[in-house]
Amino acid sequence: MIKKSSYLVPADRCGVWWVSVFHLYHGFSRKTAYCGNFVKVSVKRTKPNNWLKKKSKVKGILIRNKKEVSKKDGTYVKFFLNNVVLLKKR
């Protein structure tokens, strides 16, 4: 369960260590996002001389959540970190 101003770790090797969520897509009254939802994030901490600079805004998709999710067969899936994959602009 991801809310605005949540800190996430990018799952891909893009040279970014931390990002912060500032917008949740799919409706203006959306309060939380789960796996598979699109979010708009701001880069908070990055490696020096990286193609993504600090304070840059990019779109991302959530792939892992700390909050457990129940499956149809009755099992639960839970991850250690909240992860996001950053998407490039086209």
The pLDDT of residue 89 is 76
- Over residues 26-49, the mean pLDDT reads 91
Distance of alpha carbon 54 from alpha carbon 83, whole angstroms: 18
What is the number of other CB atoms lying within 10 angstroms of the CB of residue 60?
21
Q: Is the pLDDT of residue 84 over 70?
A: yes
Q: Helix (H, G, I), strand (E, B), or coil: what is residue 13?
A: coil
Q: What angle do CA 23, 24, 30 make, to 5 degrees?
A: 125
Residues in the chain, total: 90
Share above pLDDT 90 across residues of the chain, in percent, rounded to a whole number = 80
Give the global pTM.
0.85
Task: Name the one residue in this structure whose structure tokens are 């086209």.
Answer: 90
Quote the tokens at residue 54: 């600090």
